[in-house]
């Protein structure tokens, strides 16, 4: 798995976008609320989401984001009803 090229494939056929958007805005720091908190605070660089074969797939560059951002995303997906999430960097395999 490559931190700046993580792919998540879920069993979600639909998703409430609001919690995902809230997580993304915090993880990317859109409003620059966390930018001046020191070099130990990192951020997500990009996220692409689509429905592949009817299921939610995410491609993410976690950049300098902490592991907690990844864990928060998994928790968010579980809260949305995901019971299966495959994680990898298949394009680089």
This prediction's pTM: 0.85
Is residue 1 domain-resident? no
Residue by residue, pLDDT tens for the chain (93 residues) are: 899 999 999 999 999 999 999 999 888 876 666 555 555 567 888 899 999 999 999 999 998 888 999 999 999 999 999 999 999 998 876
Q: Residue 27 is part of which domain span?
A: 6-92
Contacts of 32 (CB under 8 A, 6+ apart): none
Q: Looking at the 3D structure of the chain, how many domains does it have?
A: 1
CA distance 5 to 51: 18
- Nearest residue to 8 via CA among 70, 92, 79: 70
Whether 44 contacts 28, CB under 8 Å: yes
Cβ neighbours of 91 (radius 10 Å):
9
Q: Is 2 left (phi over 0), alpha (psi -120 to 50) or beta?
A: beta
> Which CATH number is 54's domain given?
3.30.70
């Amino acid at each position: 798995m490559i931190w700046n090229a993580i792919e998540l494939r879920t069993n979600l056929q639909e998703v409430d976008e609001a919690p995902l958007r809230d997580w993304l805005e915090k993880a990317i720091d859109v409003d620059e609320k966390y930018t001046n908190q020191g070099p130990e605070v990192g951020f997500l660089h990009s996220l692409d989401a689509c429905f592949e074969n009817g299921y939610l797939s995410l491609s993410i560059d976690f950049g300098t984001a902490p592991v907690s951002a990844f864990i928060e995303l998994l928790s968010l997906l579980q809260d949305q009803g995901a019971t299966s999430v495959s994680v990898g960097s298949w394009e680089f395999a």
